Structure 1
Amino acid sequence: MTKLDRTDARLLLALCDIPRATGVHLASVLGLARNTVQARLSRWDDSHTLAPMDRLVSPRDLGYPLRAYVGAVTDQHRLEAVIDRLRDIAEVTEVVGVSGGADLQIGVSAADADDLYRVAGLILAVPGVERTTVSVVMREAIPYRTRPLIERLARENDNS
C-alpha cells in the first residue's frame, strides 16, 4: 500500500528534474492546477514525506571524505539508550537496526583513517555497545536513490 498516487509520482519526478521549481512552474509543466500542486507539497511537508535538506549535503564537501559502516553488537536491554548516545556523535550519519551478526549498522563519515579510528572508538565506548566491526566504503557503486521506485509508481498507475 502506498500513500502516494500517480499524480504524486509525476510531481516527484518533476522535482527530481527541476528541484528548485516553483509550484506555479510545476503546475504548468504537469498540466495541474496550482492549488493541487500546493496542496500536495503542503501534505508532504506535514507528513515528512520528503527527506530533510541535510540529506542532500555530501559529507565529502564538509571535509569528511572517508565513509564506513560500523556493525555494532549491543546489550539488547540498552538498545534505545545506545541509539540515543549515537545521536551525540556528529560523524554518525545514520543508524539502522538489522538482523544477522550485528544489531545496528552505523554509517559514519570521517576525515581520514586516523579520524575513523577515533570515531570507531567513540562508538565502542558507548555503554551497551559490546563489540564492533568496521567496513570502509571503497566506492559508492549505486548511490541512495528512490527515482526508479517513483517511476514504477507512475507507470503502474497508468494502467488503472
Structure 2
Amino acid sequence: MIKHIQLINDDYLGHVDILRHASRGVLVMDDKILIGYAENGGIIMIPGGGVEGDETYAECCVREMLEETGIKVNAVNEYLEIEELFDVWRHINHYFICELVEDTGVTHFTEAEIEAGYKPVWLPIKDALAIFAEYEKYRKTDIPVYGLYKRELIALQEALSLLQK
C-alpha cells in the first residue's frame, strides 16, 4: 500500500499552474544510502527525476537511477507519494525501494547536473538523516532546500521503517 503525504511550503501561492510527476529511488546497502550530491551547492538528495513521455513511475525510477548514479536497479516497491505545493507548483514524487542489479560505472548527467557538480555518493544512513533533519534552518533563507530536505527526511524515514520489518 502506498502512503500519501501532502506538504505545503510557505511560498505556495494558493493555485497550481504547473504539475510535475517525478520518481525517486532509495537504495540501501551496508547501512549506507545512495544519494546524489550537488557539490557546488553542498546539497544532497535521493536520486530521481521527472517522468518522461508515457513511462511508468517505476520505469522513470529505473531510468533516473541509471542516469544519475550509473547503477541499474529494480524498482521493487512504490511505498510513498509526496505531493508538494510550492509557488505555483504541484510536484508529486513517487518513492521506490530499489534493489541493485549492476553498477555500470557510467552516468548520464543533464547540463544542470554537470553545472551543479552532481555525483553519486554512498552516505551513511545516519549522516543522511542528520543532514535532512536540519531542514528547518533553511526555512527563512532557502525555501527550496527547506522543502527538499523536509521531503527527503520523510521519504527516508518511511523507507527505513519498511526495510527494518
- Give the TM-score category using the shorter length: under 0.3
**TM-score normalized by the length of structure 2:** 0.24
Q: Which has the higher helix share?
A: 1
Q: Which has the higher strand share?
A: 2
**TM-score normalized by the length of structure 1:** 0.25
Which one has the largest radius of gyration? 1
